[in-house]
Amino acid sequence: MQRSRVIIFIVTALASAIVLSGCEQNQQANAPAKQPTPVGVIKLTSQPLTLTKELPGRVTASQVAQIRPQVNGIVQTRLFTEGAEVKKGQALYQIDPATFEAQIATSKAAITKAQANIANAKAKSDRYSDLLKIKAVSQQDFDEADANYKSAQADLLTAQAQLKTAQININYSKVSSPISGQIGKSTVTAGALVSANQATALATVTQLDPIYIDLTQSSSELTRLKKAIANGDLDRDLTAQSKVELKMEDGSVYPHKGTLKFSEVTVDPSTGSVTLRAEFPNPEKLLLPGMYVRAVIVEGVKTDAILVPQRGVSRNSKGEPTAMVVSKNNTVEARVLKTDRTIGSNWLVTSGLNDGDQVIVEGLQKIAPGASVNAVPAESIAKIQ
């Protein structure tokens, strides 16, 4: 009796298992096929792009003149206000001119005396010339008279040169500015004794408008840029490349654009960099010598640039940049990229992607290479989900 009950229980369990298995098969057969995963894509389009580079630089005055006396004497008056703007040729100091005035008077007297000696010597030379013809004087007497005449002429030239020197010195007694600019503090006061070409400057005049910016660029970057232009990867735009934009220390943009003047032809061995000089107008005197700034220069124009949003680029286990692309059969394909730099929120890609490729930028966490996807414009994926 008990054995028959066991047999009945086993038969019942097998029947239930068969029934459940059939139900599962029917449910699987009736289940809908898995749908492709929707992903947001951006279709790439090549475009001309002006490439720029930000370089560090220091502000340098366009002209600096150290004011030094060219004659000896006592400073009578300072003729400027410290820190003020001065003009080229403006008098800055007056050195006591009394000594030079006396030299001028002495030179003028010497000229007068020389002129009188010339007249006397010429008359004697002329008389001896006539007497020599009739043998009334010797040849030696005539030669001496002619030499005295020529010596008197030389004395006149010497006196005239001395007068010119005295006039130059009296002009130098008024110390003038050789350039226009802003003058600093004075190192001497009235009553100070100064000497010609002394080591200490009386003051310094600095021209601030226009002003120079000395930029530094690594030699490796410069070489890469020259190669890119030579290979045709970049086109030169001479008009744009001569313009420079400046960023101030606080991050603001300087209101005036500058002009790139020249680039050094030698590399600094201590830094491995090359110096470029740009000139900027500085009417408001916002730029002062020694300030640190950053300048944006134009490297060239890339006619077929490919820009990819940064959110669509990731890194593989090797650290290489990669992007997921929708292939022609609507499956995911992984691409290894080569990037040059960031442009705003995009990567500039030099290889790995082509014009017309569809790069996945939304839904990346739901896919893997080879997965079937439904590509839609990136801004439309939210509606689908």
- pLDDT values of the chain reduced to their tens digit, one per residue, 385 residues: 455 554 555 545 555 554 445 555 544 445 455 678 888 888 988 888 888 888 888 999 999 999 999 999 999 999 999 999 999 999 999 999 999 999 999 999 999 998 988 888 888 888 878 787 877 778 887 778 888 888 888 988 999 999 999 999 999 999 999 999 999 999 999 999 999 888 899 999 999 989 999 988 887 777 777 777 776 666 666 665 678 889 888 888 999 988 888 877 788 888 888 888 889 999 998 999 999 999 888 878 888 888 999 988 999 888 899 999 988 888 888 899 998 888 888 999 988 888 888 998 888 888 888 888 888 888 754 433 3
Could you check whether the bond before residue 309 is cis, i.e. omega within 30 degrees of 0? no
CA neighbor of 208 nearest in space, from 277, 262, 289, 276: 289
Token pair of 237, please? 């735009």
- At 31 the pLDDT is 47
- At 380 the pLDDT is 52
Identity at 101, one-letter amino acid code: E
CA-CA distances (angstroms) from residue 247 to 59, 197, 213, 256, 279?
12, 41, 11, 10, 14
Instruction: Give residues with Cβ within 8 angstroms of 118, minimum separation 6.
Output: 149, 152, 153, 155, 156
Token pair of 29, please? 């057969």
Specify the CATH class of 37-49+305-384 in words.
mainly beta
Q: 139 forms bridges with which residues in the sheet?
A: none
User: Quick one: fold of 51-62+208-301?
Assistant: Elongation Factor Tu (Ef-tu); domain 3 (2.40.30)
CATH 2.40.50.100 domain position(s) in the chain: 72-205
- At 226 the pLDDT is 74
CATH 2.40.420.20 domain position(s) in the chain: 37-49+305-384
> What's the pTM?
0.68
- At 238 the pLDDT is 61
- At 218 the pLDDT is 81
CATH 2.40.30.170 domain position(s) in the chain: 51-62+208-301
Identity at 285, one-letter amino acid code: K
Q: In which element (H, E) is residue 146 found?
A: helix 139-172
CATH architecture observed for domain 72-205? Beta Barrel (2.40)
- At 381 the pLDDT is 47
Q: In which element (H, E) is residue 128 found?
A: helix 98-133
